[in-house]
Amino acid sequence: MSARARETAAGDAGAGEATGDSTRSVHAGRPPATAYQPSLPGPAFVSHFHLPGEATGPYTYGRDDNPTWDRLEQAISELEAPGDPSARTLAFASGMAAVAAVLLSQVRAGQVVVLPSDSYQTTRSLQERLESYGVRVRLAPTADDAQLAVLEGAGLLWLETPSNPGLDVCDIRRLADAAHAAGALVAVDNSLATPLGQRPLELGADFSVASGTKALTGHGDLLLGYVTTRDAELAAGVRKWRKTVGAIPGPMEAWLAHRSLATLALRVDRQAVNALALAHALAERPEVTALRHPGLPTDPAYKAASTQMRRFGSVVSFTLPDRAHAERFLAALRMTAEATSFGSVQCTAERRARWGADAVAPGFIRFSVGVEDQDDILADVLRALDEAAS
């Protein structure tokens, strides 16, 4: 973030004094109220700036910085680390651009990276690239803090909690303390939880990384990623990577993302309530097995999740008897789109095994619960289950 943006943010009493999640979501990153000016200035479409004399900035070139990014980045920092002026966020063109920026900017040949074996499939696909650079990669599952066993000599520990798509949860604080004792940095993929669900930096992580494509922006209409850290040196390394590879967000996407943050608390609250209701309803169905939702008291992850999560997210996963049964169920849904994402205001679902990269059963369903009326969601899903079973 530029010096100008930090000064603007520091002077914004409305955001700085806010303590509630919804208030903070509405005001975060917005400039002070100014007569006859919009509360959120429009996107700055610019590739170059007028630079008389010495090019000292704060804005010099469109790949380096943009005032629209600055406002969004300040807003996300206020959500990921409320009240902490040291927090710095870097926005990216997609979630995977943010993931790759941390992994590829912080790790060197000869070092060890520990990845979750059950993480998002494209994150795992970076193993081949890392190894081609001389980095050693170790894999261990999220559940039961299994990554603890492979930390020795690691330079970076990557956590994804809850994991996608299995919804396992690990103890961020415990793993971060162990990793730091071993000399490793810690990054947490916070895509599913959002900063209103958990705050990895407060739990000891060095980086909070997320796909803003998902619940953060929540409308299924843009791609975005971000990295937040409290360490200026780490932020500088990620920023340099972004500038070098050009993985920058478009100004329109950044503006839309910032606009969408105003409803974040409303959306995630409604989704969390709806998701838990769906999980309870699915628990009554005999054809449903391996039901997972971290907010369900019977879930294996509930104990760990309840100690570090403030909201349990929008995703429910479960398994139907076989591929054909699952596809009949998906085809019978009337209100739910069959799509490969989560966190949107609209319910979406998919048979995750169709991609071939996750260790899930052929009938495994990842269901992302939207903000529709709870009764309508349950009626749609239960009717589809009935049709699929007949």
Domain extent listing, the chain: 3-261, 264-389
Q: Read off the pLDDT of residues 73-122 as tens digits, 9 standing for 90 and up.
A: 999 999 999 999 999 999 999 999 999 999 999 999 999 999 999 999 99
Q: Prior bond to 162 cis, omega within 30?
A: yes
CB 219 within 8 A of CB 368: no
Question: What topology does CATH give the domain 3-261?
Answer: Aspartate Aminotransferase; domain 2 (3.40.640)
Architecture of the domain whose range is 264-389? Alpha-Beta Complex (3.90)
- What's the whole-model pTM score? 0.93
Give, in degrees to the nearest 5, the angle at Cα 90 between 88 and 93. 165
In angstroms, the CA 247 to CA 241 distance is: 8
Residue 8 has pLDDT above 50, yes or no: no
Q: Read off the pLDDT of residues 164-215 as tens digits, 9 standing for 90 and up.
A: 999 999 999 999 999 999 999 999 999 999 999 999 999 999 999 999 999 9
* Matching fold, domains 3-261 and 264-389: no
Residue 357 is predicted with a pLDDT of: 81
Residue 9 is predicted with a pLDDT of: 40
Which residues are paired to 225 by β-bridges? Answer: 92, 211
